[in-house]
Amino acid sequence: MLICIPSVLSKDEVQAVRELIDASDWVDGRVTAGAQSAQAKKNTQLPEDSKAAIEARAMISRALGNHPLFLSAALPRKVFPPLFNRYSIGDRFGAHVDNAIRPVKNSLERIRTDLSATLFLTEPDTYDGGELVIETRFGAQEVKLEAGDMVLYPASSLHNVTQITRGARISSFFWIESMVRDDGERELLFDLDQSVQTLAAAHGQDNEEVIRLTGIYHNLMRRWANA
């Protein structure tokens, strides 16, 4: 399932994040790449333990925890601490698949990467190129979103970032270990949850069908989830 999630950050929050990270020093983006990805990756990245990264990461983490569409789609068990990258003219990231397991820096924790996320921090009309191209069962999907919007997709997907020819593309990226590991099961739960929410808005939470479908949703969660 590929889903675009609008307004994870407001425009004011995007500006606050950008003010933090734009003034910081950036390093070679290959510091977090696996062996195969490093051969295809050309960009820069904010050091994970820099003061700006820590403060900006906290803002994004709070926003994610309060965003109902993200919570419904991802069913997050663990979220990798958000990272930040910048693609300038000539930068690109060739076709690759994200590592299945990501260690969290300065800890013993590891996260299984069920989902990948890119949160755009640059308005799309300020740069050319930089599309995130994700291979799906329906073919390649190009994604280039408004600042503050996010795309969520299976981490098992082959994907790439096209070369920048004008301006710069700045984003936050991270991975999610979901309570529901299987993408097909997670997609069914998301569709069911969205239908329940639509019915509840139209007919009220105490509607008989809303109550019945809510019960089905939670019983499927009991069957499939690893909380």
* pLDDT on residue 160: 97
Where exactly are the structural domains of the chain? 3-178, 183-224
**Chain CA centroid to CA 84, Å:** 12
Same fold, 3-178 and 183-224: no
Which pTM was predicted? 0.93
Q: Which CATH number fits domain 183-224: 3.40.50, 3.40.220, 2.60.120, 4.10.860?
A: 4.10.860
| DSSP string for residues in the chain | --EEETTSS-HHHHHHHHHHHHTS--EEGGGG--HHHHHHEE-EE--TTSHHHHHHHHHHHHHHHT-HHHHHHH-EEEEPPPEEEEE-TT-EEEEE---SEEEPTTSS-EEE-SEEEEEE-S-GGG-BS--EEEEETTEEEEE---TT-EEEEETTS-EEEPPP-BS-EEEEEEEEEESS--HHHHHHHHHHHHHHHHHHHHH-TT-HHHHHHHHHHHHHHHHH---
* pLDDT on residue 29: 79
Joined tokens for residue 186: 């997670």
pLDDT tens figures, 75-130:
999 999 999 999 999 999 999 999 999 999 888 999 999 999 999 999 999 999 99
pLDDT tens figures, 124-178:
999 999 999 999 988 999 999 999 999 999 999 999 999 999 999 999 999 999 9
Q: Which fold has domain 3-178?
A: Jelly Rolls (2.60.120)
* pLDDT on residue 106: 86
Q: What percent of the chain has pLDDT over 70?
A: 96
